[in-house]
Chains A and B, each alone.
Chain A
Amino acid sequence: MRIIEARQIADTIAQLCMDANYHLGADMLAAFDRAVQTERSPAGREALTMLKENARIARTERLPYCQDTGFVICFADIGQDLHITGGLLEDAINEGVRRGYTQGYLRASIVEGPFRRKNTGDNTPAVVHAQLVPGDRLSLRLMAKGGGCENRSQFKMCTPAEGLEGAKAFILDCIRNAGPDACPPLIAGVGIGGTFEKAALLSKRALFRDIGTPNPDAELSALEHEILNEANTLGIGPQGYGGDTTAFAIHINTCPCHIASLPVAVTIECHAHRHQSAVL
């Protein structure tokens, strides 16, 4: 059995929080480069060009890419043969968030409760999803999730009769509804199958796949392309100013479901798609 200290987890999370907010990933930069070449709308191209420059400033000056430095969502895959000492996993993750957001000059965007909206001051707590996996490693995948786009995420219990066409129509409706508010070009993380909460988790996990890499399942890959092409005929465009680049990617995860159900969850993600990961 391997042993790691909770302190190592906190140190890693602090670093990931800062890296995620200053450094837009290579996958996203490549998506911007492609879109600037193909976008027909002048206002859309101007917005994309500004966002590329924004990414450069953020990276070189260690300034957050977006002032909404997000709600930290952390997927922790814990090897069954790993033992964490010196504290609880969730406490260590929150300690990392506290340090990363304070020392990194990132915004505290979390309030104590939905009605008593007092800011907690250090962006804690994070949303932690832990699961056991084979092996003796700890995989930490972290996303700084913006509030404006999360507000446009949706869930629908489709019926089996509605099938693939029903799911497709719902995903497109979500993108249409997200419109200019959610900071397009968007990414849709989609979870289809399971139960109410399982579909939502799948939709979040789907966002960790690098933009531009195909779904390993050929059928789902084709479906993602089809929905992406349709999304990009909606006309919403970068920032909603009109144009061809409404979405950068559609990522779909599926899993088994009940004979009565066809759950579809869509997490809407903005172009400030900040995700980082590490293995301890």
Chain B
Amino acid sequence: MATAETRLLTPPLAATDVKGLRAGDRVRFSGVLLTARDAAHQRLVARIDAGQPLPIDLHGQVLYYVGPTPPRPGMVIGAAGPTTGGRMDAYASKLMALGLKGMIGKGSRSRAVREAMRQHTCVYFGAVGGAGALLSKHIRSAEVVAYADLGTEAVRRLIVEDFPGIVINDVYGNDLYEDGRSKYARPEESKRSSEGL
């Protein structure tokens, strides 16, 4: 259940929605999420590099890094938790330049991607990694919209309801992973991470 502090988001998002978020904010998504992971990113960016149009419009969209399991008969999707965001670092900036407003994954992003997020007003959200069964319960529909041949890695349009997330990187340069670590680490360890060791 959403609590009083939880921010309710209804993607597609506007720049103003994104600017109102801070690292550590709990969010719930009700609306559209597009899915893409490694192979789909590779194809999308190859088209951008070749000056070709994309099969999906990224303007205002939130991309969820997920490769779901196949649905059982009568279900819309199988388990559908996030995959590691860092593997998409090589591609993310080019998608943000086309209007992408949010990314959902797990794990740290590179300095360059975080800088691109500030520049293009885009936020990185975490969903609980490994919670594939639970997260699937928040997905109301799933439709393949591009690259069907990629199977689990195809681009899907999901309609989600009350889908839980947390802001990892906001547009002000904050990082929940760094903040969290320095808050709970023993002092020597906090010093080590602040010095980038």
Interface residues of A (CB under 8 A from B): 40-41, 43-44, 46-47, 50-51, 53-55, 57-58, 61-69, 105-109, 117, 119, 121, 146, 148, 151, 179-183, 233-237, 239-244, 270-272
Q: Most A CB atoms within 10 A — which of B132, B151, B190?
A: B132
Binds A, one of B53-61, B113-121, B133-141: B133-141
Interface residues of B (CB under 8 A from A): 24, 26, 39, 66-72, 78-81, 83-84, 86, 106-108, 126, 128-137, 150-153, 164, 166, 176-177, 179-186, 189-190, 193
CB <8 Å contact, B185 and A233: yes
CB <8 Å contact, B176 and A64: no
CB <8 Å contact, B183 and A235: yes
> A166 to B59, alpha carbons, bound, how many Å?
50
In the assembled complex, 20 residue pairs joining A and B whose CB atoms fall closer than 8 Å, in A order, are: A43-B166, A43-B180, A50-B128, A58-B132, A62-B72, A65-B133, A66-B129, A67-B80, A69-B69, A105-B78, A146-B130, A148-B129, A151-B84, A182-B107, A233-B186, A234-B181, A235-B181, A235-B189, A240-B106, A241-B177
CB <8 Å contact, A234 and B107: no
CB <8 Å contact, A50 and B181: no
Please give me the residue from chain A that is nearest to B184 by CB atom. Answer: A235
A-B contact count (CB 8 A): 177
Contacts of B128 in A (CB 8 A): 47, 50-51, 54, 239
Contacts of B176 in A (CB 8 A): 43, 240-242
> A17 to B86, alpha carbons, bound, how many Å?
29
8 closest Cβ pairs, A-B complex:
A242-B180, A235-B185, A181-B107, A235-B184, A67-B132, A54-B134, A183-B129, A64-B79
